[in-house]
Amino acid sequence: MSQRGIKLPVAAAIALGALVFAASPGQALQPDEVLPDRKLEQRARDISLGLRCLVCQNQSIDDSDAQVAQDLRRVVRQRLVAGDSDSEIRAYIVERYGDFVLLKPPFNARTFLLWLGPAIVLLGGAVLVLWGRGRSRAGAPALSAAEQAQLRKLLDEREREPPT
């Protein structure tokens, strides 16, 4: 077997391993954080997946290694063990950190710009583009017959000139 034949399967195996590793969700959960009750642990994971890490901001606390994420995971588990419902735990954390801590914040008076902001910016940009196009067309005066003839003459002379 040639040396090239050996390298290809090894490279493919490494690439496949990297792909599997990259595709798997991050598991920042420490072994000492796992609850012994499987049902409570599953509820904790479900809640944690909906809470934003305040440091990482685009990761759930379940996926983040940040200290604040670990602290929030512990709070979630402590409240579950204390008997709080999922909604009570979310409400407790939102009360302390605000709607920002939710990966999917509710639509309300405080978050409407978050939800509608991109659409408003897109519509505003479209209005500006259309207004600018209409204004540029309306602002250009029509050329008289003499001006059009002079323009044609200049363009013809430019086409006949050798390129520099």
CB 81 within 8 A of CB 69: no
CB 28 within 8 A of CB 65: yes
Planar angle of CA 91, 96, 101, nearest 5 degrees: 75
- Residue ranges of domains in the chain: 3-101, 116-160
Tell me the CATH number for domain 3-101.
Answer: 1.10.8.640
Q: Could you tell me the pTM of the whole model?
A: 0.54
Q: For residue range 18-68, what is the model confidence (pLDDT) as tens digits?
A: 555 444 444 566 666 778 888 989 999 999 999 999 888 789 998 888 899
Instruction: Tally helices (H) and strands (E) across the chain.
Output: 6, 0
Q: Residue 131 and residue 129: Cα distance in Å, rounded? A: 5
Inter-axis angle of helices 38-49 and 67-81, to 10 degrees? 130
| pLDDT band, very low/low/confident/very high, at 99 (cuts 50, 70, 90) | confident
